[in-house]
C-alpha cells in the first residue's frame, strides 16, 4: 500500500507491507513497484495510518536536522542476509556522523567486502531513514548515491556534514 509524505523538499512516496514500511522513494521518481497509485491516508487501515504518522514525523525531523524520536517498523525482509547486515550497520551511524564504505565493511566483520557494501547501500529500500547517505568514500569524499548525488549532498547538508574538497 502506497501513501504520500509531503515535506519541505518534496513529496516522498512510502510503501507499506503488512510488516511495516517497506520502501521509501524520493520525490518525482518513477514508481518502481506497486501500481503507481497512492491511497489517501485517511482511508488506509488504522495500523498503516499509525505507521504513516511515524514515517511522516521521522522524515520531517530528519530533513530539519533532528534525530527522529521514533520510527515505524521497517520491513527489510526483501533483502539478502548480507544486505540486511549492512542496513543494520547503517542504522547505527548517528546523526551528523559518517563512515566510509570500508568502515562499514569492518563493522559487519567483512573488511574486504567494501565494494559489496556499496552495492548493498545502493539496494537500500528505505533511504534517509536507513541513512545510506552517511556512507562516504575514503577520505571524506562524496562517493555515489542511488537517488542522485544532489540528494546525498542535500541530506548531508541537513546534518551539517562537511565533505573533503
Interface residue list for DNA (CB under 7 A) = 79-83, 100-102, 110, 112-124, 127, 132-133, 135, 137-139, 143-147, 165
What is the per-residue DSSP string for 92-111?
TSPTT--EEHHHHHHHTT-T
Question: What element of type H or E holds 114?
Answer: helix 114-122
Cβ proximity to DNA: between 19 and 164 the closer is: 164
Question: Under 8 Å CB-to-CB from 36, ≥6 apart: which residues?
Answer: none
Residue among 54, 107, 132, 136 flagged as catalytic = 132
- State yes or no: is 121 an active-site residue: no
Closest CB 100 distance from DNA, rounded Å: 4
Provide the minimum distance between the beta carbon of 129 and DNA in the complex, in angstroms, as a whole number: 13
Least distance in Å: CB of 136 to DNA?
A: 7
DSSP 31-62: --SS-S----GGGS-HHHHHHHHHHHHHHHHH
CA–CA dist 128, 113 (Å, integer) = 23
By C-beta, is 52 or 99 nearer to DNA? Answer: 99
Closer CB to DNA, 4 or 108, in the complex: 108
- Distance CA(68)–CA(12), nearest Å, equals 17
Active site residues: 132
Amino acid at each position: 500500500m502506497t501513501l504520500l509524505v509531503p515535506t519541505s523538499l518534496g513529496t516522498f512516496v512510502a510503501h507499506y507491507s503488512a510488516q511495516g514500511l517497506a520502501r521509501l522513494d524520493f520525490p518525482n521518481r518513477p514508481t518502481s513497484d506497486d501500481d503507481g497509485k497512492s491511497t489517501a491516508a485517511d482511508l488506509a487501515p488504522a495500523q498503516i495510518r499509525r505507521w504513516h504518522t511515524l514515517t511522516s514525523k521521522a522524515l520531517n525531523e530528519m530533513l530539519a536536522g533532528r534525530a527522529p524520536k521514533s520510527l515505524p517498523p521497517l520491513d527489510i525482509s526483501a533483502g539478502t542476509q548480507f544486505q540486511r547486515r549492512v542496513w543494520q550497520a547503517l542504522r547505527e551511524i548517528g546523526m551528523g556522523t559518517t563512515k566510509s564504505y570500508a568502515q562499514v565493511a569492518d563493522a559487519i566483520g567483512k573488511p574486504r567486502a567494501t565494494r559489496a557494501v556499496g552495492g548493498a547501500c545502493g539496494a537500500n529500500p528505505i533511504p534517509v531513514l536507513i541513512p545510506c547517505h552517511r556512507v562516504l568514500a575514503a577520505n571524506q569524499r562524496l562517493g555515489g548515491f542511488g537517488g542522485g548525488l544532489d540528494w546525498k549532498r542535500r541530506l548531508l547538508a541537513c546534518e551539517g556534514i562537511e565533505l573533503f574538497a
